[in-house]
Amino acid sequence: EADIYQTPRYLVIGTGKKITLECSQTMGHDKMYWYQQDPGMELHLIHYSYGVNSTEKGDLSSESTVSRIRTEHFPLTLESARPSHTSQYLCASSPDLGTGGRDTQYFGPGTRLTVL
């Protein structure tokens, strides 16, 4: 059973606002990920982290930024929200099990963001 949390679950906000989407996990996983998903579509990786102070951009270009100051916490920030940022944002984490390990990604419940 995965213990990964995201807040808020739903957010409606006006254009130009700064927002931070929170993601926390209590499993001690080193690796964490942010995905963006439009309704009914596939997930696209926008950020990932190997561990504390390690962050990388994913395949899908995003104007958001992330930080990883603590193992359990991986927040995503949009400095100036726009309607094009309207989407669902899913956070995930996985263990680093070493060679041959099955590093299943466990997902949080997601944040549905609407920018007006």
Partner 1 sequence: AQKITQTQPGMFVQEKEAVTLDCTYDTSDPSYGLFWYKQPSSGEMIFLIYQGSYDQQNATEGRYSLNFQKARKSANLVISASQLGDSAMYFCAMREGRMGSARQLTFGSGTQLTVLP
Interaction site with partner 1 (CB under 8 A): 2, 31, 33, 40-45, 48, 50, 56, 58-59, 88, 90, 92, 94, 98-110, 112
* Residue reference for tokens 């504390």: 52
Among positive and negative, which fits the CA dihedral 19, 24, 30, 33?
Answer: negative
Structure tokens at 103: 């590093």
Q: From the CB of 26, what's the least distance to partner 1, in Å?
A: 16
Taking the least distance from each CB to partner 1, the nearer of 60 and 116 is 60
Q: From the CB of 77, what's the least distance to partner 1, in Å?
A: 21
Taking the least distance from each CB to partner 1, the nearer of 14 and 100 is 100
Taking the least distance from each CB to partner 1, the nearer of 6 and 18 is 6
Task: Give 47's contacts (C-beta < 8 A, 6+ positions apart).
Answer: 33, 34, 55, 56, 57, 58, 62, 64, 66, 76
